Chains A and B, each alone.
Chain A
């Protein structure tokens, strides 16, 4: 079945450092890919998404590129802020699949120190 593998955390960075959180997936066909973020005490919210190969999703300075050849969707940000401290989840859904088929990674905790 479909699966998502994220780099294990926790990740601790200093403010203004470069961030990469790795995400690879296993799925048939061309799934849609997502990054969700969960700030402390809150539910998850969509950070960005990409629905086809080579698409780049971007939001709030974060970017991720859908790489079909490496089955990856790594999350990057050039300069992190303390306010980016959160748990980040990579997820996939089959392209025309039911919404219930959304598969999440295990989450990566990011802490940014001032």
Chain B
């Protein structure tokens, strides 16, 4: 089975701290994603990467950056954490399947719950 592993399940940080959320997948997927999950809002895409060193902004990139130096690893960075970034963060990955890429299935990690005080 494909595995997507998020290194931290729970984090508590202070306002202004720099935060790194790490995600690793073990099935050679090209695509990797960072989502934010908030009650009543579903999942919102923060950043997407389709290859090493390649990234695209999602719907809510403000206050976040990402790094993908190796195919299997995709990091989300909060340069200066704020209380409104308290949330559940979900990493996901998928293959690129060509013509019917719209049918791609995402594999998710278990999530990282971040609290910013």
Contacts and interface: CB of A to CB of B under 8 A. Distances in A.
A and B associate in one complex = yes
Interface of A: 4, 31-32, 34, 36, 41-46, 49, 51, 89, 93-102, 104-107
B18 to A, nearest CB: 24
B110 A43 contact: yes
B12 interface: no
B43 interface: yes
Given A43-B4, A99-B96, A89 B102 contact: no
16 contacts: A34-B105, A36-B106, A43-B90, A43-B108, A43-B110, A46-B105, A49-B103, A95-B100, A96-B102, A97-B101, A99-B33, A99-B48, A99-B106, A100-B33, A102-B45, A106-B40
A99 B106 CA distance: 9
A105 B42 contact: yes
Contacts, number: 75
Given A32-B102, A51-B103, A94-B102, A99 B108 contact: no
B56 interface: yes
Contacts of B102: 31-32, 51, 93-97, 101
A98 to B, nearest CB: 7
A49 B100 CA distance: 13
A90 B33 CA distance: 18
A102 B101 contact: no
B103 A100 contact: no
Contact of A44 (B99, B104, B108): B108
Contacts of B42: 4, 89, 104-107
